Structure 1
């Protein structure tokens, strides 16, 4: 959090939180009451002051007021970089990915040190080039086999990522999108006083 936010919190500690105003789509775009936010300064401010509470509800701390965020898929969206690394939609470099999850539609969720993140749909070719099967590059049959597995089951696939000029291999788990919040510890649509 930025210093101005911390000072405002200290001065006004009991400002009620907002629910249902802010949302994040699967491409990492912010919305306020259904309208896209396009001003770079506002987007940057949200990104620098974006965090999760102890219940896994993500929020933007706007001075003394917390605005909870509804997420279309996950609280973070990953964007592939030209060097093969990943950055979150709010500019954080991923250095400690832990697990990759393949949902029923073939989209990837990756658990990072910053939180659970969905890979931007425009980077699916990037992901396919880094998925590995038993004997190297993933085949269509291996990918279909992984998609056919039950949610929660490990697959035979791995995902190779570039982290600080090294390659890191992550296991790939099959996980339905509806099961992801409970499994990965986040709340898709925060509500007052509840983790659901």
Structure 2
């Protein structure tokens, strides 16, 4: 977490949390969801505006975390902005890379390298999930051909699962809600 964010939390510790305003799709893109977008439907059917500004994406990535309940959020200064996840908290890119042991480079949507794949899963929609040292991630749809080749060369044998059951099993909340008053 950025030092400036930590300082803002100390200065303003009681800023209300924000829900429904930020989404992460299964391609690893962040979406800002204003009130009209939120009224028009749930994420990802009503996505909102894709975040394209590089420095903003980097800021979100550096301050992206989860709480003890498995709810993922972006700490925006003193305000916690909970993220609506389409599939998983991490979106993983799979790229062939002869310079890497095993021949495959894996990386989260926030730019963190993935060094270990502990388990693989395939859901009812054909999405491939990886359990890594960072937690549960879904492979980007545009990387599925590479992922199929990696599965064969690395000996991954995905367990067939229901996507909703898998995220529950891993303690992930896809759509965080405000605490009941």
Q: TM-score range by the shorter chain?
A: 0.7 to 0.9
Provide the rounded CA distance (Å) in 2 between the counterparts of 1:48 and 1:86.
18
Query: Over aligned residue pairs, what C-alpha RMSD do you find?
Result: 1.5
How far the C-alpha of 1:175 sits from its partner, in A, is 1.2
1:65 equivalent to 2:79? Answer yes
TM-score by length of 1: 0.77
1:4 equivalent to 2:4? Answer yes
- Structure that is richer in strand per residue: 1
The 3-state SS of whatever aligns with 1:129 is helix
Q: Which residue of 2 aligns with 1:42?
A: 56
Q: Choose the corresponding residue for 1:88, options 108, 132, 148.
A: 108
Matches for 1:15-54 after TM superposition, within 5 Å: 15-33=15-33, 34-54=48-68
The 3-state SS of whatever aligns with 2:145 is helix
Provide the rounded CA distance (Å) in 2 between the counterparts of 1:96 and 1:13.
36
The 3-state SS of whatever aligns with 1:4 is helix
Provide the rounded CA distance (Å) in 2 between the counterparts of 1:130 and 1:35.
33
**Runs of 4 or more above 6 Å deviation:** none
The 3-state SS of whatever aligns with 2:158 is strand
Matches for 1:1-196 after TM superposition, within 5 Å: 1-33=1-33, 34-83=48-97, 84-132=104-152, 160=154, 170-193=156-179
Q: How many residues align?
A: 160
Shifted more, 75-84 versus 53-62: the winner is 75-84
CA contact (8 A) 2:95 2:143 kept: no
> How far does the alpha carbon of each residue in 1:57-79 deviate from its partner, in whole angstroms, 9 at most, with x for none?
00000111000000111111001
TM-score by length of 2: 0.83
CA contact (8 A) 1:28 1:77 kept: yes
Instruction: Please tell me whether Structure 1 or Structure 2 has the larger radius of gyration of its CA atoms.
Output: 1
